[in-house]
Amino acid sequence: MKRSPVRFTQKRRRKYPEDNPLADGTHAGLATSAQIPADLVDKLERLALLDFRTKQGLVCLEKAIRHADQLLVVDTSAVEPMDSVLEDRALNLRDDTAMEGDCAEELLRLSKNIVEEYFVAPPGKIVRVHLY
């Protein structure tokens, strides 16, 4: 007895609406591509630990900014603020009271580096990532 192959013809659903006005990146409320000031690029490089000085890096940065600018067009005036992303579950919060106290001296003794009764975190190894 020969079996015939099963074929699925169900249409796959998209994760975004087909009539998305922002899909092509153009909208009346969005600003057109503008030159990014050098001081802003420097600040973003420091914060992101990335190197945007290459041509491809700047193109990537501009694409990211255009993508984020789409959020400015969306009307959220009728959307109620959320307390949590887990809206369907009850979040049982405990009281914010100290269970144990007066242990600062013991904790400071465990630290390797202390300055004026404060922990001093060791400097991390910071690596700049180059975008290619």
Q: Assess contact for 54 and 132: CB atoms under 8 A.
A: yes
pLDDT at 20: 57
| Per-residue pLDDT reduced to its tens digit, 34-93 | 678 888 888 888 888 778 878 888 888 888 888 888 888 888 888 888 877 887 888 788
| Per-residue pLDDT reduced to its tens digit, 94-111 | 888 888 888 888 888 888
The contacts of residue 51 (CB under 8 Å, 6+ apart) are: 45, 57, 128, 129, 130, 131
The total domain count for the chain is 1
pLDDT at 14: 57
Asked if the structure places residue 9 within a domain, the reply is no
Range of the domain at 69: 29-76
By the 10 Å C-beta count (0-12 exposed, 13-18 middle, 19+ buried), 121 is classed as exposed
Asked if the structure places residue 3 within a domain, the reply is no
State how far the Cα of 62 lies from the Cα of 54, in Å rounded to an integer: 12
Asked if the structure places residue 2 within a domain, the reply is no
